[in-house]
Structure 1
Amino acid sequence: MLAYERFGSGEPMVLIHGIGHRRQTWYPVVRRLAAEYDVIIADLPGHGGSSALDRTMPAGEALRAAFAELFTGLGIERPHVVGNSLGGLIALELGENDLARSVTALSPAGFWVGARDFLYVRALFGSILTGARLMRPFAGPLTRSNLGRKAMLGWLYAHPQNVPAPMALGDLENMLRARATIRHLLAQAYTFAPGEPRGVPVTIAWAQRDRVLLPYQARRARRIMPHATHLWLDGCGHVPMPDEPELVAETIIAGARRAVPIDPRVIVDSTGSLA
């Protein structure tokens, strides 16, 4: 079961966070999105309040299955899906499986070239997990100062001072609790390989000041997904929501609006052609 919160009304929109994070990372943009959409924010398996990741199947398959089960449990079909980092990769794959009405991926994972290229990301998270464990006894005072939050969170955000101290401390605790899942997911990382375009509008927005996924991955994404809308988020780090909430919210809304509404008077058969 995935822990989730729900806000607003309208067409359903599911927001998926990245590895080591939790659903609260979407709070800076929820109010704006909920003014137009039925917004669902969920914790990844093994993160936050969610149950453990199913390790009887490959990690990517288990993640997709968890969200497909969430959609069924909530009674929603083909929601708009938005993801950041690993959540962006999950969103793209849900779109590939025709489980999303639109996809907006913010600095999505999966566009590295191969396993050797992924060593940087794995080494980064390994050092962050070690640092989080060592700084845990001092985390309270550190999170209460802008300088401390910059030292702790500068690798994720362009403006770590925008993250409230309780949120920063909660994120650190969550990362430490989720470290076994994080290591399991990093060990099974893979490159995203899109199929033929399925008519699902895709927006891929890259943080201009990303220190986790390096800029060349944006070029690769543009090359292998020319049908998608590709954007840059000015002044943002890898997790852009606290850095520029209005910019991120408007990017998400613009991506969702690219989905063409289905007229209920038009019947579409199982092959996707007009009946």
Structure 2
Amino acid sequence: MSWDAHTSEGIAYLERPGNGPVLVLLHGIGSNAASFTPLLAHLPATARVIAWNAPGYGGSEPLTQVWPQAQDYAAALEGFLDRVKVPQCALLGHSLGALIAASFVACRANRVTHLTLAAPAIGHGVAPGEVLSAKAQARIDDLERLGAVDFAKARAPRLVYRPEDNPETLALVQTAMSQVSMPGYGQAARMLASGRLLDDADRLWVPTDVIVGGKDQVTPPEGARRVHHRLHAKARGTYTELPGLGHALYQQDPARFAAALRQGAAAVV
């Protein structure tokens, strides 16, 4: 089965229909909904799978705030799920998507049966309006200076472990990253700068798993372990570190990533 493409009031998304549990997928800062395509074949055929293009990505309208915070994306997600008639789902956020997912669940626990934080971005903790963190500013500067295609060529290899040995994965990552644009990417970079995932982790009461690539250079395992340990005992699910995978773990080895999902959330996916 493959995706169906839709748009709902300014949010573009991909959906694989199913009559089983609903799994909603949130991509990272340099990606889009289509990045989850390699994973689709490894998910149960009965699951209804939805991957959104975050505001400002892949045909989705950007947010109105110049410097949005994670809760602004979470509010957009709530409206989107209402419109596509998903009262409750399993939620998976990758990288920047983990910041959005955690913010959503922290205030809307009744909407989510299970949360997965994959290669979670912790955020830089900068107050909105202050000087951007150096890493966030560099993202914006590099995109504006290089343009999206060369920006992707320069940055994509860091997301793949041993990119020289994994050209197909590198091509997937680079293709998605070459489609980022302003103002959406700049908004996301500012949200990353002000993100505080560890604070939201303290407020999660939904069963939550953490998955990270053992060779992730972007969001290293040390950060993922900190997130896992900050979870309340009642919310703390499995922590899985996948050896030999980098930041783009669900693209580099979707079968192994899906197996980690099943280990932590068999009743969901």
- TM-score (norm: length of structure 2): 0.77
The 3 A distance-change label for structure 1 pair 181 and 111 is closer
In the other structure, the counterpart of 1:109 is: 121
2:79 is aligned with 1:69: yes
In the other structure, the counterpart of 2:101 is: 91
In the other structure, the counterpart of 1:253 is: 262
2:223 is aligned with 1:212: no
In the other structure, the counterpart of 2:37 is: 27
Q: 1:179-258 alignment to 2 at 5 Å?
A: 179-193=185-199, 194-195=201-202, 198=205, 200-225=206-231, 226=233, 227-258=236-267
In the other structure, the counterpart of 1:2 is: 11
The 3 A distance-change label for structure 1 pair 181 and 244 is same
* Distance (Å, rounded) in 1 between the aligned partners of 2:89 and 2:144: 37
Q: Are 1:47 and 1:177, in contact at CA under 8 Å, matched by a contact in 2?
A: no
In the other structure, the counterpart of 1:54 is: 64
Whichever of the two has the greater Rg, that structure is 1
In the other structure, the counterpart of 1:263 is: none
Moved more, 50-59 or 219-228: 50-59
Instruction: Tell me by how many angstroms 1:251 deviates.
Output: 1.9
In the other structure, the counterpart of 2:5 is: none
Instruction: Tell me by how many angstroms 1:84 deviates.
Output: 0.3
Q: Are 1:103 and 1:202, in contact at CA under 8 Å, matched by a contact in 2?
A: yes
- TM-score (norm: length of structure 1): 0.76
Q: Are 2:140 and 2:189, in contact at CA under 8 Å, matched by a contact in 1?
A: no
Instruction: Tell me by how many angstroms 1:108 deviates.
Output: 1.2
Aligned AA for 2:174?
A
* Distance (Å, rounded) in 1 between the aligned partners of 2:188 and 2:197: 17
* Distance (Å, rounded) in 2 between the aligned partners of 1:187 and 1:66: 19
1:26-56 Cα shifts (integer Å, max 9, x gaps): 1110222252410001011111211111329
In the other structure, the counterpart of 1:79 is: 89
Moved more, 44-53 or 92-101: 92-101
Instruction: Tell me by how many angstroms 1:164 deviates.
Output: 6.5
* Distance (Å, rounded) in 1 between the aligned partners of 2:23 and 2:133: 30
Q: Are 2:198 and 2:230, in contact at CA under 8 Å, matched by a contact in 1?
A: no
2:21 is aligned with 1:11: yes
Moved more, 80-89 or 93-102: 93-102
In the other structure, the counterpart of 1:174 is: 180
Structure 1 runs not aligned, ≥5 long: 144-148, 261-275
Q: Are 2:212 and 2:249, in contact at CA under 8 Å, matched by a contact in 1?
A: no
Instruction: Tell me by how many angstroms 1:133 deviates.
Output: 4.7
Secondary structure in 2 matching 1:80: strand
Moved more, 89-98 or 54-63: 54-63
CA RMSD of aligned residues (A): 3.2
Instruction: Tell me by how many angstroms 1:130 deviates.
Output: 4.0
The 3 A distance-change label for structure 1 pair 158 and 220 is same
2:123 is aligned with 1:123: no
2:152 is aligned with 1:157: no
Moved more, 157-166 or 62-71: 157-166
Structure 2 runs not aligned, ≥5 long: 1-9
1:96-145 Cα shifts (integer Å, max 9, x gaps): 32121111110112276x559xxxx9434543444445554974xx98xx
Q: Are 2:148 and 2:180, in contact at CA under 8 Å, matched by a contact in 1?
A: no
The 3 A distance-change label for structure 1 pair 219 and 165 is closer
* Distance (Å, rounded) in 1 between the aligned partners of 2:49 and 2:101: 15
